């Protein structure tokens, strides 16, 4: 798994690699839980843990921020999730009000993709695709969780993004390999079990 294939849609391309620190679904789609849970209406906001650039888009000056309409999947159980959208662009944002199951903590993943959540172990199992389409938003995977009883999501990077230019029009894809053969795409586990406050950082396990 030590390589990453990039399909080049333009001369400007981004790629992602896992670091140790999407497909946008129907915004109204909701994955029903397998068991009956109490549902409530809830609004979430995004808080950034330590870095001020953990968002979803990047401009020509290198500034990263949320964009209105960015779709984030929020989870309240191993099988219960729904999609909410950013309400305004900027360095921080709030999300559309959604119906969620009652839970101590809520997890979220951007871009909106169906990932595996294990509430008992307080972890998220992400799958980073090994083929990228050259867009920043779909390479910039971030994962977040609320603290117990809160509605603020603290987001953390699951990937690193590198930009380079391709000037030859006959080149349509590039394959990237790590020097030591280690994985730069595929499965990564995000363990929140030791995160007890807003200053904590989850463990990323490749």
- Tens of pLDDT along 49-93? 544 444 455 566 656 678 899 999 999 999 999 999 999 987 788
- Tens of pLDDT along 25-36? 444 455 544 457
Residue among 152, 83, 80, 149 at smallest CA distance from 119: 80
DSSP conformational letter for 23: P
Express as a percent the part of the chain with pLDDT over 90: 42
Exposure string for 73-102, b = 16+ CB within 10 A, e = fewer? bbbbbebbbbbbbbbeeeeebbbeebebbe
Which of 16-20, 34-38, 139-143 reaches the highest mean pLDDT? 139-143
Question: What mean pLDDT comes out for the span 111-140?
Answer: 88
CA distance 78 to 67: 28
Q: What is the DSSP string of 146-194?
A: PPTT--EEEEEESEEEEEEE---TT--EEEEE-TT---SSEEEEEE-TT
Residue 60: its pLDDT value, please? Answer: 62
Residue 129: its pLDDT value, please? Answer: 87
């Amino acid at each position: 798994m030590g390589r990453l294939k990039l399909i080049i849609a333009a001369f400007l391309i981004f790629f992602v690699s896992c670091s140790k620190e999407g497909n946008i679904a129907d915004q109204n789609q909701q994955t029903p839980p397998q068991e009956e849970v109490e549902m409530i209406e809830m609004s979430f906001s995004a808080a950034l843990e330590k870095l001020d650039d953990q968002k979803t888009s990047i401009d020509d000056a290198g500034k990263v921020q949320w964009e209105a309409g960015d779709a984030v999947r929020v989870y309240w159980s191993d099988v219960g999730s729904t999609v909410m959208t950013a309400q305004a662009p900027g360095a921080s944002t709030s999300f559309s009000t959604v119906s969620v199951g009652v839970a101590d903590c809520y997890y979220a993943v951007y871009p909106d993709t169906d990932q595996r959540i294990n509430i008992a172990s307080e972890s998220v199992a992400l799958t980073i695709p090994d083929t990228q389409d050259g867009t920043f938003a779909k390479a910039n995977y971030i994962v977040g969780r609320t603290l117990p009883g809160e509605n603020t999501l603290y987001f953390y990077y699951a990937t690193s993004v590198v930009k380079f230019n391709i000037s030859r029009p006959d080149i349509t894809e590039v394959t990237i390999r790590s020097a030591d053969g280690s994985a730069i795409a595929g499965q990564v586990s995000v363990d929140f079990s030791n995160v007890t406050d807003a200053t904590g950082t989850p463990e990323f396990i490749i």
